Chain A
């Protein structure tokens, strides 16, 4: 499969009064054409910073890309100037933000905001742009687009605004769409509509999507592949089936176990992950998850675990996969979902640095 985006060993830091916050600490992943990659993690895990860095939206200073490459369409975005980025942002890469209230311009008509993209990036004439804007609004499921195109964002409901946002992001037929918690602020019924819409549009346009969320239900619904982030690193990555039916990292276990399931009558205590995420001004030595990890071994506090490869597509960074590690049982709630996947290697393999 053709790779559209490849992020290699990305490190992003912010200078604050309290010291340097290492928000992203060596993240590598790739995205194929036409696929959806979900990035999950708690607040502060670096998922939003990663996506904003791809868009080069990190304010510098205080932010700084300390290391790494972002290869998009064969070009390294890290090396681009602001001027060059303007040609890519909104054209080749579109973005949908969490809060449609604040991400649309309240003083501009919705149609105008879509037309702006069309006229700037696709060099359309004003009248052609307006027609296309109406078409786009219809495409994202807004009724009476001829009327809506002349309205202001405050005349739209939350779900409608998010649809308008998607129309703006899709106006220039981007190759990559980054959706940063696009449905978190919406009700479940509206969320279901927006997710269906995004999947539908992806089928029609073949756009690749990076979908950032903390809702595992949404992940199961939209994703082809999943990356789980914790404390600025990807701790596990795999296809959606691998993550949900054969998770290997204790943090992924914790996330899956802390959700009550709708179909069980189980009223036993939820398996909460104790404690709270680490302070990234001072990332802990060893595995950042170790202090909250009931499965932590001595080595977790000393040495950072390497990436292990469980199948061609499944990676996890935990010492539990080491041949010398003791066998452990995942929590009950996770055990119920485990399945044997045929694509797994007989033994997890350590990934070499160069790979």
Chain B
């Protein structure tokens, strides 16, 4: 593989939440991975595994407990002047899961989309601002007439398109999509995914696509990371991950997805993951190790040798 340019570097990222009485939730516990320019990295896992927290910490909605996130070499969490922060925020945008809760009901669609344009001063005149809004609406498959309406007048799929238009308004390089399609109907999901792919082709965007729907993730992603209890347990090319899952949790997760094919469903054998099956010894060091080129698995030294022998 040719040397790809790293857009995001995440180094030993930790995000702990203090929930009182001395209890700490380790939502994200030591993540290290890179996101390359122009790719889509899918992040999957069950609810509570820390995938959304990861996205929110990367973009700086939470202050990281430990570790760092570099965007084009700039540390997202380091102290910055207001101006630096603004430029950085422009480059990273987010699309949220709930298209009903993430749009201000008291603002018109035009104001929602143009908010970023106003903040960053991207339009010099009122006409230019509206022109941009119209262009963006068309880009996401809505039309000009929609600009003066309010969010409640739109369906879920249309709202998600508005959310995408808002994210695109400031011409970002990197978009974090946190379960952008989970709240939508099947027939609408495909529309939104197609739109996201088209925009990526046209604008060279980089996506972090967070979801629990594994079939959609496989379809849209170049590489996929599987999270379990705040840790990345496996990271590989999308095809590779589905064809040769190595970590037992990934195997269990894949075996649980029902497929739209009655015959395979009748003979389905589900694999159950039991974290104690690893039999890790006290003090054994776990880390992401490369088994085959580009395929990383969280394992101990002993497991590494075993996997190496099995899969290469």
List residues of A whose CB falls within 8 A of some B CB: 42-43, 158, 187-192, 195-196, 214-221, 223, 240-241, 244-245, 254-256, 258-263, 265, 267, 269-274, 276, 337
Q: Is there contact, CB below 8 Å, between A276 and B158?
A: yes
A177 to B34, CA, bound (A): 48
List residues of B whose CB falls within 8 A of some A CB: 46-47, 155-158, 185-191, 193-194, 197, 212, 214-216, 218-219, 239, 242, 252-253, 255-262, 264-265, 268, 270, 273
Question: What distance in Å separates the Cβ of A307 from its nearest Cβ neighbour in chain B?
Answer: 23
Taking CB atoms, residues of chain A closer than 8 Å to B156 are 43
Given A259-B215, A269-B194, A274-B191; A192-B262 close (CB under 8 Å) = no
Given A254-B187, A270-B193, A271-B190; A218-B215 close (CB under 8 Å) = no
Residue from A42, A190, A255, A259 having most chain B Cβ neighbours under 10 A: A259
Q: Is there contact, CB below 8 Å, between B219 and A270?
A: yes
Question: What distance in Å separates the Cβ of B215 from its nearest Cβ neighbour in chain A?
Answer: 5
**A–B pairs, 17, beta carbons within 8 Å:** A42-B188, A43-B156, A188-B46, A188-B257, A189-B256, A191-B258, A215-B258, A220-B260, A258-B186, A258-B187, A260-B216, A260-B218, A262-B215, A262-B242, A263-B242, A270-B190, A270-B194
Q: Is there contact, CB below 8 Å, between A244 and B253?
A: no
Q: Is there contact, CB below 8 Å, between A42 and B186?
A: yes
Ranked 4 nearest A-B pairs via Cβ: A217-B258, A260-B219, A272-B190, A258-B190
Q: Is there contact, CB below 8 Å, between B219 and A267?
A: yes
A325 to B1, CA, bound (A): 52
Q: Is there contact, CB below 8 Å, between B186 and A259?
A: yes
Taking CB atoms, residues of chain B closer than 8 Å to A192 are 255-256, 258, 270
A219 to B268, CA, bound (A): 14
Question: What distance in Å separates the Cβ of B265 from its nearest Cβ neighbour in chain A?
Answer: 4
Q: Is there contact, CB below 8 Å, between B187 and A255?
A: yes
Question: What distance in Å separates the Cβ of B155 from its nearest Cβ neighbour in chain A?
Answer: 5
Taking CB atoms, residues of chain B closer than 8 Å to A254 are 187
Taking CB atoms, residues of chain A closer than 8 Å to B194 are 269-270, 272
Q: Is there contact, CB below 8 Å, between B189 and A258?
A: yes
Given A187-B212, A258-B187; A217-B270 close (CB under 8 Å) = no
A272 to B158, CA, bound (A): 14
Taking CB atoms, residues of chain A closer than 8 Å to B187 are 42, 254-255, 258, 272-273
Q: Is there contact, CB below 8 Å, between B186 and A255?
A: yes
Taking CB atoms, residues of chain B closer than 8 Å to A189 are 46, 252-253, 256, 273
* The residue from A214, A262, A337 contacting B186, defined by CB atoms under 8 A apart: A214
Taking CB atoms, residues of chain A closer than 8 Å to B273 are 189
Given A271-B190, A272-B194; A217-B216 close (CB under 8 Å) = no
Taking CB atoms, residues of chain A closer than 8 Å to B157 are 276
A270 to B191, CA, bound (A): 8
* The residue from A215, A271, A276 contacting B155, defined by CB atoms under 8 A apart: A276
Question: What distance in Å separates the Cβ of A24 from its nearest Cβ neighbour in chain B?
Answer: 18
Q: Is there contact, CB below 8 Å, between B259 and A220?
A: yes
Taking CB atoms, residues of chain B closer than 8 Å to A196 are 270
Question: What distance in Å separates the Cβ of A249 from its nearest Cβ neighbour in chain B?
Answer: 13
Question: What distance in Å separates the Cβ of B259 from its nearest Cβ neighbour in chain A?
Answer: 5
Given A262-B214, A270-B193; A216-B186 close (CB under 8 Å) = yes
Taking CB atoms, residues of chain B closer than 8 Å to A195 are 258
A96 to B46, CA, bound (A): 22
Taking CB atoms, residues of chain A closer than 8 Å to B158 are 276
Taking CB atoms, residues of chain A closer than 8 Å to B218 are 260, 262
A73 to B24, CA, bound (A): 55
A219 to B186, CA, bound (A): 14
Question: What distance in Å separates the Cβ of B83 from its nearest Cβ neighbour in chain A?
Answer: 40
Q: Is there contact, CB below 8 Å, between A221 and B189?
A: no
A256 to B256, CA, bound (A): 20
A217 to B258, CA, bound (A): 4
Question: What distance in Å separates the Cβ of B40 from its nearest Cβ neighbour in chain A?
Answer: 11
Q: Is there contact, CB below 8 Å, between A262 and B258?
A: no
Taking CB atoms, residues of chain B closer than 8 Å to A262 are 214-215, 218, 242, 257, 259
A223 to B261, CA, bound (A): 11
Taking CB atoms, residues of chain A closer than 8 Å to B197 are 269
A354 to B260, CA, bound (A): 34
A45 to B252, CA, bound (A): 34
Q: Is there contact, CB below 8 Å, between B265 and A221?
A: yes
A259 to B46, CA, bound (A): 21
Question: What distance in Å separates the Cβ of A3 from its nearest Cβ neighbour in chain B?
Answer: 23
Taking CB atoms, residues of chain A closer than 8 Å to B268 are 221
Q: A191 — nearest CB in chain B belongs to which residue?
A: B256
Residue from B189, B239, B257, B262 having most chain A Cβ neighbours under 10 A: B262
Taking CB atoms, residues of chain B closer than 8 Å to A241 are 262
A192 to B256, CA, bound (A): 6
Q: Is there contact, CB below 8 Å, between A276 and B190?
A: no
Question: What distance in Å separates the Cβ of A181 from its nearest Cβ neighbour in chain B?
Answer: 12
Residue from B46, B260, B261, B264 having most chain A Cβ neighbours under 10 A: B260
Question: What distance in Å separates the Cβ of B99 from its nearest Cβ neighbour in chain A?
Answer: 13
Question: What distance in Å separates the Cβ of B238 from its nearest Cβ neighbour in chain A?
Answer: 9
